[in-house]
Amino acid sequence: MSLTLEAAQFVEQRLTSRLTEDHRYHNWPHTMAVREACGFLGVQTGLSPDDLEVLDLAALFHDIGFIETYRGHEAVSREIAGDFLTSRDYPADKLEKVLACIDSTQPSADPSNQLEAIIKDADLSNLARTDYLSSLNNLRMEWELLCNEFYSDREWFKLNYKFLKAHQYYTDAAKSSYDEQLKINQKVLKKMSKGEQQKESGDVSRLASSKSAQMMFKTSLRNHLDLSNLADNKANIMLSINALIITIAMPLAVSYIKAQPYLLYPAVCLLATCLCSMIFATLATRPIRMSGYTELENIKAGRSNLFFFGNFYKMSYNEYQTGMQHVLEQEERLEDSVMRDLYFLGRSLGMKYSQLRICYNVFMSGVILSVLVFGIAYLLYD
């Protein structure tokens, strides 16, 4: 087994087993991202195989100190890396390079050579990623949970905008690869720090950045639709059963009533049961009332959802297009439409199941009562 593979397994085992879930940012995926960036920048720079190995090992161990402490973790990372590599008889000159690279990842440290510059750039390569806002949100939650540092949305984005604005990559490879996206992220943070965009860490906008929230919304929506189909099937079953009883069983019962008058009472009871059951089963499957038209003012005010056909089927295409553009141009309106759709679907589902429960209770009670009436009428007739 190669030394880098053994080191990777060593670091992964400790980070995944000893870091808590509160380490939303500094974790094994972050270590792997820095390692990948080191390899990329190292190859772009034209490093030798030995230097690439040094860089790879430094990237693996640079955050392992988080398993023991948050503040000053670099010193612990240096110690763990030194013990591990010394026990594997790693050459002293290369070991010093690894430890120096780990030290250079401290925020206040300035790189003194090419290797240190590369790992410094790699450690902050996330600043120039398209998913930067997501990682920034993870870092914010990590600081809140582990450091008790709390910021308002505006304070948080302003703080990070200043950091991005002042940041510069050291190596030419990083500048050519990351500067363009870094500038884009700077502009986004500038707007968010001024409140011009929906803030990602807000209660609503977190839906846009959180995969867990998106998955929960998708799962809930799918479950609501499945339950709605199930309710309709149950209602159709009740309609079919009661229709069969009324159209087949009741005419047969009527033919016996003249000869045996006591059958009139259970027959009336059963007929009333079937009619009541059919009424509630019909109510459960009856479509809701829909206007089919939504005023633009209601769309702007967030009081309507154009993703539901019942709100737009009477609108012209141009009206619908204008309204939908207003919904899509702001993240907040779009997320409000998603929540509104889930909410009203849930309300409709709740009404369906309430009426369906009454239907089944009426049918069950009515059948039992009809049997009891039949027994009592039979005994009294005798």
Taking only the tens place, the pLDDT of each residue in 241-284 is 999 998 888 888 888 887 888 888 888 999 999 999 999 999 99
**155 domain residue, yes or no:** yes
Same domain? 190 vs 226: no
Counted domains in the chain: 2
Asked if residue 124 is part of any domain, the answer here is yes
- Asked, for residue 297, whether it belongs to a domain, the answer is yes
**What's the CA angle centered on 185, arms 183 and 189, to 5 degrees?**
120
Residue with tokens 């410094």: 120
Phi/psi at 331 (5° precision): -60, -35
Last residue of a domain, one of 170, 200, 230: 200
Mean pLDDT score of the chain: 87
Are both 233 and 311 inside the same structural domain? Answer: yes
Q: List the helix and strand counts (H, then E) for the chain.
A: 16, 0
Question: Does residue 137 form part of some domain?
Answer: yes
pLDDT at 204: 42
Pick the more confident residue, 319 or 66: 66
Residue 174, H or E segment = helix 172-193
Q: Are residues 55 and 101 in the same domain?
A: yes
205 within domain boundaries: no
More confident residue, 218 or 70: 70
Q: How far apart are CA 200 and CA 342, in angstroms?
A: 21
DSSP class of residue 91 equals -
- The C-alpha atoms of residue 283 and residue 235 are separated, in whole angstroms, by 9
Look up the domain containing 254 and give its range.
211-381
pLDDT in tens, 170-193: 999 999 999 999 999 999 988 888
CA distances to 221, 261, 301, 352 from 344, rounded to whole Å, are 11, 51, 17, 12
Question: 106 and 97 in contact (C-beta within 8 Å)?
Answer: no
Q: pLDDT at position 94, please?
A: 94
Distance from C-alpha of 338 to C-alpha of 88, rounded to nearest angstrom: 56
Which of the two residues, 210 and 38, has the higher pLDDT score?
Answer: 38
Phi and psi angles of residue 90, each rounded to the nearest 5 degrees, phi first: -70, 140
Do both 192 and 223 map to the same domain? no
Task: With CA atoms as reference, report the closest residue to 250 among 268, 238, 232.
Answer: 268
Quick one: pLDDT at residue 57? Answer: 95
What whole-number distance in Å separates Cα of residue 65 and Cα of residue 200? 30
- Residues 287, 318 share a domain: yes
Q: pLDDT tens digits, residue range 338-347? A: 788 888 888 8
231 and 86 assigned to the same domain: no
Q: What is the pLDDT at residue 382?
A: 61
Q: What does the pLDDT average to over 22-50?
A: 94
The amino acid sitting at 317 is Y
What's the CA gap between 118 and 47, in Å, rounded? 10
Residue 342 CB partners (closer than 8 Å, separation 6+): 217, 220, 221, 224
Q: Which residues contact 72 (CB under 8 A, 6 or more apart)?
A: 65
pLDDT at 86: 95
Q: Which residue from 68, 84, 78, 66 is spatially nearest to 30, judged by alpha carbons? A: 66
Pick from 150-159, 219-228, 277-286, 299-308: least confident: 299-308
Range scoring the smallest mean pLDDT among 76-85, 153-162, 283-292: 283-292
d(CA 252, CA 278): 20
Asked whether residue 135 is assigned to any structural domain, the reply reads yes
Q: Give the domain CATH number at 46.
A: 1.10.3210.10
Residue 206 lies in a domain: no
Do residues 216 and 125 both lie within one domain? no
